Amino acid sequence: MASVTIQKWSTAAACGGQVNHIYRTREHYGNKDIDATLADCNEMAGTAEDARTRIRETIAQVDAATPPKRVRADRKTIAELCIPAPRAGMSDQDARRFLTAACVELMQVTSMHVVGIGLHGDEVHEYVDPDSKSRVQSRLHVHVLVVPDVPGRGCNMKSWLTKSRYRELNQLLDRVCERELGYSYQDGSGQRSRGDVERMKQRSLQAEATELTAKIDNLRHKAAELDKTCQKARQDATRATQEADRAVARARAAELAQKRSEEAQRQSEARAETAERRLGQMQERADELREEINSLDVVRELSAVPENRTLNEAKATARKSLIGDNVTLPRREFESICNLAETCWVNHQAVLQMQREKSDAERTAQQAEEQAERRAREISLDEARERAGRDARLGRYERMEREFPQVFREMDSRLTRTVEHDLIR
């Protein structure tokens, strides 16, 4: 609710600090809500020196007309009226029109003399309402310095500043507001005044401090949660990095094993080719031996003549009969028979030798075939073992890739960055 607030000042205080504050004669102020860039929004009645002169002259005139009974050192001679705009959020034009009209009406009041006026537009700021705890915009306001002049008592602040005086001033502002804006100065809520501006600011600062404390606590809670989240993320990243490193090591080991397997496979294939080549050579040699054996079989069949004991005996008898001229057989026939017998015997010996060679060749060929078959079986077993090992490693690799897809994606990304870095370098 809008309401006028009043502060009491001694002559020295009013002429000093309050006039400087109202007329903005200083460069720096303790009030941090004053915005120096909005100094053009202020309106003053005269200058600060004029206000000080009017204060002293008015007090002297009132004291001369009604002399005080006793002048104390801390005598309050000046009252400062702080009149805010009637509503929050109203336009600057309506607020200024109302405040100007209010100052004009106050100058007509007979129980006081207006000695200084300052309308402040450089203190508009946001603050925390101590009652609603919500952030609101401060209102445009005017400061009016007055010297009390109570009939029969003169400049007597105690007899002037009463509850009825507050009521009188607020009623005056109601009339001005009804005339200028169409509604009363007070909103009819009956809410009691919250004191002067300084107390209001102090309560607002306390409410704002409470709000900031709550925000700080909330931010600290959020920061703690974020710290936990970051710590968990770092732990997850560390675990992921370790898993990626292990996966990279396993992948390198699998790649090395695959290379070794491929090398072993190539060596096995080379050995298999060599064995097949040797087997082919041995089979060719066996075929050649079989052909020789077949030809020897033919010769044997053609030359299978057993040893002729009778012929040998005839030969021996004939040799004996050739001694001297006692010849039983013609010499030519005898020599033919001897040559035939020798030929038959040589052929018989040759057939026996070829049979032995055939038997040796068949045995050698059979041993070669058995050795080739055994070697082929050994090669097949080695290949089966190598293939089974590769399949097992490949199965583990694929299973790991299904169980840890993020790790393998990270591994692929790192390998890609490494390759790109090497290519760029």
Hey, where are the domains in the chain?
5-195, 249-424
What pLDDT score was predicted for residue 311?
58
Whether 60 contacts 120, CB under 8 Å: no
* C-alpha to C-alpha distance for 108 and 59, rounded to whole angstroms: 18
What pLDDT score was predicted for residue 122?
76
Residue spans of the chain under pLDDT 50: 193-196, 298-299, 301-305, 323, 327
What pLDDT score was predicted for residue 404?
78
User: Which residue(s) pair with 81 in the sheet?
Assistant: 6, 144
What pLDDT score was predicted for residue 189?
54
Show contacts of 238-243: CB within 8 Å, 24+ apart: 240/406, 240/407, 240/410, 243/404, 243/407
What pLDDT score was predicted for residue 298?
47
Q: DSSP code of 191?
A: P
- Selecting from 3.30.450.40, 3.30.1490.20, 3.30.930.30, 3.90.230.10, what CATH number does the domain 5-195 have? 3.30.930.30
* 0.75 surpassed by pTM: no
Share the mean pLDDT of the chain: 77
Show contacts of 211-219: CB within 8 Å, 24+ apart: 211/128, 211/133
* C-alpha to C-alpha distance for 210 and 204, rounded to whole angstroms: 10
